Amino acid sequence: MAVIWCRHCRMPLTPEETSGGTCPVCGGKLDGVSAPAKPSSPPVAKPTAASHDSWWLLGVLIALLLAALILHPFLNPEPATKHPIAGKPGPVLAQAKNTVFRFETAGRSSPRDSDPGSIADRQADPGPARGLTSRPKKTPMPLFKFPQIFENGNERTLNLPEGQYRTTVTNRTRLKLKGVVKTLKIDLVENDSELDATGLAAQEIILGRIVGRSRVKLKGAVTSLSVEQVENNSELDALALDAGEITMGRILGRSRVKLLASVGKVDMRGQMDNQSSLMVQAVKGSVVLSGRIDDAIVIIMAREVDFRGIVAGTRAQAMATLTSGGKLKFRELTAGARLSYRKANAGDAEPIIQAGIIAGNAKFTQIK
């Protein structure tokens, strides 16, 4: 069915309604106008080359913006701030160190805050900033601590670099000492006993009585060596122990003593008798014998030798070898005693000799 549109009110009319030639709605005259064309939708613009270029340009701008944001930290690096643990503190930590932190607890006050001078002291030296201190360091595992005295049968290892070790050696004991000690003190070595301290490093050695066919052997270097007495066929071998100072007591009953003091002093204070023997090497040192020597043997190499006691007996023999700049002095030779001396090197100057009394078939000679 055809539809006719009124050109006045633009209402659709059926052929029956237009049969009168007028619009039954508005009364307008109908001139046989057919229905108007349907309103069409607005035309859609087809994409052109210009619109494609705009979208491409927008994408390029967005990519550049993202690249600038990503590369900004690398192109403009900020000055590095050292961690508080390493070196100097950064600006934040420096500011925190100059800030006084005060925490109060409701109902009570800190004794530090009640002190008038406390705030001023804290401003002068605030101490480490709270909350910004470095992590606590891990406590290292303690190292194995070697025992001070380690015993293994007749062998003892000492670990006393600042201490003293004191003992006795009796009843045929064989004791061997090793390690390190500041002061070694042996009160008694007796009854066919033996002490071997050649493996011990010490600063000072003090020996009491060495008696009853006992033996002591020393080695190393010490500042001082002190011996009270050696008797009854006993022996002290310290010829490998270089001492800065030696103090020697009595040597009795066929006992034997060997001492070394390369640049030190040997003070022989006790008596010697009954075929006992003393050997001393003090190439650049001095030896003083203050006690009486009866039927004993003395062999010395030193720069200076002084026999201050009497040398007596037909079996008494003393031999002094004097090094460069040597000097020999004796008080009295008697009862068949013999004293001889010689130069260590034939080319050395003649030593200084201060002879004392020579009596009772005693003899004093120089060996060329």
Q: Which residues contact 84 (CB under 8 A, 6 or more apart)?
A: 90, 93, 132, 133, 134
Nearest-CA neighbor of 294 among 360, 218, 352, 234? 360
Domain presence at residue 265: no
Which residue would you say has higher pLDDT here, 167 or 133? Answer: 167
What is residue 27's predicted lDDT score, i.e. its pLDDT? 75
Phi then psi for 58, rounded to 5 degrees?
-65, -40
Domain presence at residue 365: yes
What per-residue string of b and e applies to 221-254 under the rule 16 or more CB within 10 Å gives b?
ebeebbbbbbbbbbbbbbbebbbbbbbbbbbbbb
What is residue 110's predicted lDDT score, i.e. its pLDDT? 47
What is residue 69's predicted lDDT score, i.e. its pLDDT? 78
Q: Could you tell me the residue range of the domain that residue 14 belongs to? A: 1-35
Burial class from Cβ neighbours inside 10 Å (0-12, 13-18, 19+) for residue 6 reads buried
Q: What is the pTM of this model?
A: 0.62
Domain presence at residue 230: no
What is residue 101's predicted lDDT score, i.e. its pLDDT? 44
| 52-100 per-position pLDDT tens digit | 667 777 888 888 888 777 777 666 655 554 444 444 455 544 444 444 4
**Over residues 298-320, mean pLDDT:** 97
Structure tokens at 28: 């307008």
pLDDT at residue 17 is higher than 80: no
| 200-239 per-position pLDDT tens digit | 999 999 999 999 999 999 999 999 999 999 999 999 999 9
Domain presence at residue 76: no
Strands 277-289 and 265-268: parallel
In the chain, the amino acid numbered 89 is P
Name the average pLDDT for the chain. 82
Domain presence at residue 85: no
Domain presence at residue 325: yes
Residue 36 pLDDT class (50, 70, 90 cuts): very low
DSSP symbols for 190-226: -SS-EEEEEEEEEEEEEEEEE-SS-EEEEEEEEEEEE
Domain presence at residue 332: yes
**Over residues 120-134, mean pLDDT:** 55
Phi then psi for 51, rounded to 5 degrees?
-65, -40
Domain presence at residue 328: yes
pLDDT at residue 145 is higher than 90: no
Strands 338-343 and 317-334: parallel
Q: Total structural domains in the chain?
A: 2
End-to-end Cα separation, the chain, in angstroms? 170
| 148-190 per-position pLDDT tens digit | 999 999 999 999 999 999 999 999 999 999 999 999 999 999 9
